[in-house]
């Protein structure tokens, strides 16, 4: 396993107060029957810390917001909706440039989402972040076309890009970020095999035609989308305290991963090397509980996952521990530990011969 220390890194329990329950019910569409919001400020504090403020603003109609949160909340909702509109405009601008670059370069690209409403869809990770999968040989041509279109390279760390070097990061003139990937990390068609790339997806029939897709774009199957968001949540971004963990949960929730047994079976085939099956089922249990607004009856493993997702946002001590764990994970994944061990071994070998 790539995260062998997690079960020893027990997350602190986070109290599920009424304000947190209200935010999760709104964001995941569980309904507000029996819910109560003690404090408008408390609810929005939770929404902001969990990265769910735009989702809550989208779900709450003005009259319902006034009823549940009070008149002052309407001004805050208006500000959040204005920010969301700016993000959508930036995403639209970047998407148009990306479409033009794909067509001019002749590259076939896979957008890691649902193409039918690509310019307007809310990203699973960041509303103005667009992730694209291309063949390794096509990266240079598409990158050149993006620069010609007016985009600039971006060196700042973005939410879903786990490490530099995975793919070029570009910034549209309005601020939207999009990243070129050459593989889907921690997804494997063969247990223990290499990570999935675009050619592998095509050979295995995991790409689908979308009549609404622009020229040069194809879409992922639903199973790969579900496997990808699960791998990000349980492996790739597991210890990354700045990751949009609850946005990832929303992505899996929208795919109905918690309920669709056939989808879960197809997705887990690609995850089995890196994700324990019991933990995968706990992840699905958590999705169902969020959908139903019934977090009090979670199993121990599912509650551990929820505590982890909450504590990584609100508990400073736990955040510090996770940052160290994330560095260790990156060292392990990138091979730094193996190379360091080889150097130590060579040194000890030379020392023992003298």
Same domain, 262 and 273: yes
Same domain, 344 and 232: yes
| 43 part of a folded domain | no
Same domain, 198 and 259: no
Three-point CA angle 131, 274, 206, nearest 5°: 50
Same domain, 199 and 101: yes
**The two structure tokens encoding residue 203:** 């050979």
**The two structure tokens encoding residue 353:** 């011969």
| 344 part of a folded domain | yes
Same domain, 165 and 183: yes
Which H or E run includes 230?
Answer: helix 222-231
| 79 part of a folded domain | no
Nearest residue to 231 via CA among 95, 55, 112: 112
CB contact at 8 A, 153 and 113: no
CATH number, position 153? 3.30.460
Same domain, 347 and 227: yes
| 292 part of a folded domain | yes
- In the chain, how many domains are there? 2
Distance CA 352, CA 153 (A): 49
**The two structure tokens encoding residue 82:** 């204005």
Distance CA 292, CA 222 (A): 23
Alpha carbons within 13 angstroms on the beta-carbon side of residue 348 total 6
In order of 288, 294, 303, 308, the CA distances from 297 in angstroms are: 11, 6, 9, 17
Three-point CA angle 311, 284, 47, nearest 5°: 40
Distance CA 163, CA 142 (A): 20
Same domain, 182 and 281: no
Nearest residue to 169 via CA among 223, 255, 270, 94: 94
| 3 part of a folded domain | no
| 333 part of a folded domain | yes
Residue span of the structural domain in which 170 resides:
92-220
CB contact at 8 A, 19 and 42: yes
Same domain, 140 and 253: no
Q: Is the dihedral of CA 159, 161, 162, 165 positive or negative?
A: negative
Same domain, 195 and 263: no
Nearest residue to 113 via CA among 23, 192, 229: 229
Residues 6+ apart with CB under 8 A from 84: 54, 57, 58, 127
| 187 part of a folded domain | yes
Q: Which residue has the tokens 């199957």?
A: 221
Q: What is the pLDDT along the chain (354 residues), one digit of tens a residue?
A: 444 444 456 899 999 999 999 899 988 988 877 677 788 788 888 988 998 888 887 777 766 666 666 666 677 777 887 877 777 777 778 788 888 999 999 999 998 865 544 544 444 434 546 788 999 999 889 988 988 888 777 544 444 433 333 455 666 555 567 788 899 989 999 999 999 999 999 999 999 877 777 788 888 899 999 999 999 899 988 888 888 889 889 989 989 999 999 999 999 999 999 999 999 999 999 999 999 999 989 999 999 999 999 999 999 999 999 988 888 877 776 655 555 556 656 656 666 665
| 319 part of a folded domain | yes
Same domain, 202 and 163: yes
The string of DSSP letters for 287-349 reads: HHHHHHT--TT--HHHHHHHHHHHHHHH-HHHHHHHHHHHHHHHHHHHTHHHHHHHHHHHHHH
Residue at a domain's end among 164, 187, 220: 220
Same domain, 192 and 239: no
CB contact at 8 A, 111 and 77: no
Residue at a domain's end among 169, 195, 220: 220
Residue at a domain's end among 220, 248, 282: 220
Nearest residue to 289 via CA among 304, 299, 278: 299
Nearest residue to 65 via CA among 47, 89, 84, 51: 47
Same domain, 203 and 230: no
pLDDT value for 134: 92
């Amino acid at each position: 396993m790539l995260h062998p220390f997690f079960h020893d890194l027990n997350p602190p329990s986070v109290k599920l107060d009424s304000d947190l329950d209200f935010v999760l019910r709104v964001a995941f569409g569980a309904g507000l029957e029996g819910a109560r919001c003690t404090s408008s400020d408390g609810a929005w504090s939770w929404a902001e810390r969990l990265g769910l403020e735009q989702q809550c603003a989208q779900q709450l109609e003005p009259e319902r917001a006034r009823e549940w949160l009070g008149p002052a909340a309407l001004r805050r909702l208006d500000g959040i909706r204005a920010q969301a509109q700016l993000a959508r405009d930036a995403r639209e601008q970047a998407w148009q440039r990306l479409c033009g670059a794909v067509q001019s370069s002749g590259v076939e690209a896979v957008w890691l989402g649902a193409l039918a409403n690509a310019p307007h869809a809310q990203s699973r990770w960041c509303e103005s972040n667009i992730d694209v999968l291309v063949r390794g040989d096509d990266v240079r041509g598409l990158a050149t076309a993006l620069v010609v279109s007016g985009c600039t390279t971006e060196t700042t760390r973005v939410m879903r890009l786990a490490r530099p070097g995975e793919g070029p990061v570009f910034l549209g003139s309005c601020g939207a970020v999009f990243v070129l990937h050459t593989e889907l990390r921690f997804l494997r068609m063969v247990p223990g095999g290499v990570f999935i790339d675009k050619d592998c997806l095509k050979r295995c029939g995991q790409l689908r035609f979308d009549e609404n897709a622009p020229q040069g774009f194809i879409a992922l199957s639903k199973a790969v989308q579900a496997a990808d968001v699960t791998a990000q949540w349980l492996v790739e971004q597991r210890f990354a305290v700045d990751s949009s963990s609850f946005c990832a949960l929303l992505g899996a929730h929208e795919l109905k991963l918690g309920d669709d047994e056939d989808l879960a079976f197809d997705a887990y085939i690609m995850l089995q090397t890196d994700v324990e099956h019991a933990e995968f089922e706990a992840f699905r249990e958590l999705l169902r509980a969020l959908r139903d607004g019934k977090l009090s009856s979670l199993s121990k493993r599912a509650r551990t996952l929820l505590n982890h997702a909450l504590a990584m946002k609100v508990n400073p001590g736990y955040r510090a521990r996770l940052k160290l764990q994330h560095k260790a994970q990156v060292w392990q994944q990138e091979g730094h530990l193996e190379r360091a061990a080889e150097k130590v071994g060579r040194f000890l070998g030379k020392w023992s011969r003298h």
